[in-house]
Amino acid sequence: MIIENTLIDYVKHETRPFDEFALNDCDLLVFSTLIYSSFENYDVFTKAGSSVKLSALGEVAPLYFFVENGPNISGTLALLDAVCKSPRFANVALEGFEEANDEARGLQYGCGFFVISPEQVVVAYRGTTIELNAWREDLNMGTYPAVPCQIKAMASLTIAHETYPQATLCLCGHSKGGACAEYAALFTPDIANDAVERCVSFDGPALTRVGTAACPELQGYDELVEARYAATDIEMVRYVFPAAIGLMLENGSSAHLRFAEAVDASKTHDPVLIKVEEGQIVCHEPSKRELTEGGFVSRWASQLTLEERVLFVHYVITLCAENGITVDLSSDSIIAILRAALKALPRSSGDQRRNVAHMLLKALKALKA
């Protein structure tokens, strides 16, 4: 079945160069998807001073070698193919690519600079890959004010500004990459306010952590994040996809949120399935049901102590490792994980079983709220 009005169609049909049709959020979604590509497997991308035009990707390796990461392998491959043939993207160069996956530090990270011209550079951050280490870092976002990938994101922004001092920077990323982009924009203010024009997160989880009386260790952090939003001159946008990852842990203003539509009826987190028309991402006003369902994690987190949050991360990652469960942080998959956790509980015993059961009951209550 052919699905129209996707990001791939946009790349195929929008042939105008960037100096004729300005950089827009569809382009940023393209870069946020491309950064999932396995560039780390080829020295030409990782060595110092490297610069590879997107039109030349197929000269480095067959394109299907680049798509082992990411949420949609076939879709990403089709997008890569369209980008390589696109007059609009042909002369964009990928530079400064960096990748890290350090289980000891709980770090999974990727970032690259898409150079449109000496005056315009896109800093794109990679989202979550398939390793459980990557998902542990995602889950830890509900436990700590910042995780290692967000600290790395600030360093990458500093490098981008030093490398392209005359350039206007745009930051973007999909999923966890979007949270990295937002964190770098708000917590590297000396550089960001000087050089960054726009920051776009595509269904990335919120920076707020839902600190409440149940979790006093995180109290005050959400107010700090909101103060950073209020103080910045950067245009901050977060697109919420049907999967509603962009509402996870949200506990502040919704002024910067836009609710994107998909080309099908699924609760997708997939950037390739987001609807695009006339060079724009199609959005709508969210329904009360969307906001209620999307706010499930925030409602749940508000009831958890720090100890319970840490236990949840440990329990879910252990459960997945022992049972070969693939983690996917869509709202439907979180419910599936909770059900799997409940099913596995009889194999646990003692205090841990009681603590996990208590935590899962809170989750089920939050789902019904």
Kind and range of the H or E run holding 98: strand 93-102
Closest CA to 21 of 11, 29, 31: 11
In tens, the pLDDT along 14-30 reads 999 999 999 999 999 99
CB 227 within 8 A of CB 190: no
In tens, the pLDDT along 241-252 reads 998 899 988 987
CA dist 205 and 191 (Å) reads 23
Reduced to 3 states, what is the DSSP secondary structure of residue 260?
strand
List helix spans (H) across 14-72.
Answer: 25-34, 43-46, 57-60
State percent of the chain over pLDDT 90.
Answer: 62
Give pLDDT, residue 294.
81
State percent of the chain over pLDDT 70.
Answer: 85
**Residue 91 structure tokens:** 């002369």
Q: Which residues contact 299 (CB under 8 A, 6 or more apart)?
A: 366, 369
**Residue 239 structure tokens:** 């697109």
The pLDDT-based confidence of 305 (bands split at 50, 70, 90) is: confident
Give pLDDT, residue 363.
59
CA dist 154 and 149 (Å) reads 9
**DSSP strand E in 212-279: where?**
235-240, 257-260, 276-277
**Residue 213 structure tokens:** 């009386």
CB 201 within 8 A of CB 213: no
Query: How many CA within 13 A on the CB side of residue 64?
Result: 1
In tens, the pLDDT along 339-366 reads 655 555 555 455 555 566 566 656 555 5
Higher pLDDT, 347 or 133: 133
In tens, the pLDDT along 260-278 reads 999 987 788 899 999 999 9
In tens, the pLDDT along 35-58 reads 999 999 999 999 988 999 999 999
The pLDDT-based confidence of 110 (bands split at 50, 70, 90) is: very high
CB 281 within 8 A of CB 25: yes
Give pLDDT, residue 126.
97
Give pLDDT, residue 271.
93
Residue 320 has pLDDT above 60, yes or no: yes
Query: How many CA within 13 A on the CB side of residue 38?
Result: 16
CB 271 within 8 A of CB 239: no
Give pLDDT, residue 331.
44
- Domain boundaries along the sequence of the chain: 7-293, 301-368
Q: In the predicted model, what is the mean pLDDT of residues 89-100?
A: 97
CA dist 142 and 146 (Å) reads 9
Quick one: DSSP state of residue 274? B
* Residue whose structure tokens are 């995602």: 138
Please give the distance of CA 193 from its chain centroid, rounded to a whole number.
22
Give pLDDT, residue 232.
94
β 168-174/196-202 pair status = parallel
Please give the distance of CA 66 from its chain centroid, rounded to a whole number.
19
Higher pLDDT, 158 or 1: 158
350-368 and 331-344 are packed helices; what angle lies between their axes, rounded to 10 degrees?
150
In tens, the pLDDT along 161-211 reads 999 999 999 999 999 999 999 999 999 989 998 999 999 999 999 999 998
| CATH for 7-293 (3.40.190, 1.10.1740, 1.10.357, 3.40.50) | 3.40.50
Q: In the predicted model, what is the mean pLDDT of residues 275-304?
A: 89
CB atoms within 10 A of CB 112: 26
Lowest mean pLDDT among 96-105, 282-291, 307-316, 319-328: 319-328
Give pLDDT, residue 324.
66
Residue 226 has pLDDT above 60, yes or no: yes
pTM (2 decimals)? 0.91
**Amino acid at position 13, single letter:** H
Rounded to the nearest integer, the mean pLDDT of the chain is: 87
CB 308 within 8 A of CB 355: yes
**Residue 282 structure tokens:** 């199609």
CA dist 207 and 186 (Å) reads 10
Give pLDDT, residue 107.
93
Kind and range of the H or E run holding 73: helix 73-85
CB atoms within 10 A of CB 51: 12
Higher pLDDT, 127 or 70: 127
Give pLDDT, residue 2.
46
